[in-house]
Amino acid sequence: MSEAVLGSICGRPRRGPVSFFEFWPGWLFYTPVVLFWVAQSIRHGSATLPSLANPSIAAGGICGESKNEILDLAGKVARPWVADYAAMTTLAHADSTDLPVALAAMAQAGLQFPVVAKPDMSCNGVGVRVVRDEAQLAAYLAAFPRATALQLQRLVEYPGEAGIFYIRHPGEARGRITSVTLKYPPMVTGDGRRSVKALIAADERLNAVSHLLLPKLGAQAARVPAPGERVTLVFVGNHCRGSTFKDGLHIVTPALEARIDEIMRDVRDVYFSRIDLRYESLESLREGRGFKIIEFNGAASEATNIWDPEMTLGKAYREQFFHYGQAFKIGAANREKGWKPVGLVQLARLWRQQKKLMAAYPAND
């Protein structure tokens, strides 16, 4: 076993472009998490108890939840902090009238191009694409599954992106921020000589994830950017698509925590959520201003700071066990109040439906 791997297992950060476990197969990394979930299920007498961590969300947000319905839970206090969005459903049969329906929904919500088109039921950025005009929107809708809900959301131009984990137990007056992930999309800066592919190869982190980036770039990889031109390689802020995630818990201030708590107490019956947002600057975010929320994620939310390249494997699992343990505790408290967890059969049905749809969505940016 190498010294780098041994050091990371023993708790010493491994400094490099990726953590040694960042791109492990899912079954390998998540096996201890599944075993922890099983142990919690036995302890609490329910494998689906976390579905009560957010009683107003379908299955609590374990899977199969609606992005539109979750954002609809935001009240008058929370709504101004949420990026404007419009919901629509494609027609049952392929028809050119999908576009007029979408444009009408955008007009009603006060949206103009560009917008972010995304499936209503999905995860990991699957099917998410920026559409900048009617032609791009028409192409997206034509490739979208029939009779299926989607969301059109204002493109938030703020440069920063973060995931903030919020937890509040039923009966608590205030919640708290338990994790912050600062997300940095893969990007190269042109020199007028080298292609995008060559610039990727010259960057240690980007070269390490080039197998994720190059297939999506296609012919764009051969383009030579002008000197100083910054080229963002993917839009979706996901580590498995090449973005760099950094642990940002140190940025939390009383002002930020108070603002997030104010917002989340106005999102009905949501106690356990990772809030994905874009922010103007770290200074403004620390002050609890200058940001827009893109999504509220539910009970299957992951504390994504675990994908910081300097994260140790031990700390990553401690983060996972803490957060999912909290989901079970919140679910138990809501069960005592009379809520009933989703059944395993229903949960399996939602999972199959989501998996089927995700295989049919258009390619993401």
What is the rounded average pLDDT for all residues in the chain? 92
**330 within a domain of the structure (yes/no):** no
**86 within a domain of the structure (yes/no):** yes
| DSSP codes of every residue in 240-299 | GGT-EEEE-GGG--HHHHHHHHHHHTTBTT--EEEEEEEES-HHHHHTT-SEEEEEE--T
Flag the least confident range among 146-150, 183-187, 189-193: 183-187
| Domain that includes residue 226, residue range | 187-233
Beta strand segments in 6-128, E: 85-89, 115-119
Is residue 152 located within the same domain as residue 176?
A: yes
The answer on pLDDT for 60 being more than 70 is: yes
Tell which phi-psi region holds residue 124, choosing left (phi > 0), alpha (psi between -120 and 50) or beta: left
pLDDT score of 16: 65
Q: Helix, strand or coil for residue 176? A: strand
**326 within a domain of the structure (yes/no):** no
Residue 224: other Cβ atoms inside 10 A: 14
Is residue 33 located within the same domain as residue 98?
A: yes
**328 within a domain of the structure (yes/no):** no
The answer on pLDDT for 315 being more than 80 is: yes
Is residue 198 located within the same domain as residue 284?
A: no
What is the CB-side half-sphere exposure of residue 253 using CA atoms within 13 A?
Answer: 12
Is residue 192 located within the same domain as residue 79?
A: no
Q: Give mean pLDDT, residues 197-226.
A: 90
pLDDT score of 299: 97
**142 within a domain of the structure (yes/no):** yes
Q: Give mean pLDDT, residues 164-189.
A: 96
Is residue 85 located within the same domain as residue 225?
A: no
Q: How many domains does the chain have?
A: 2
Q: What is the pLDDT of residues 344-365, one digit of tens each?
A: 999 999 999 999 999 999 988 7
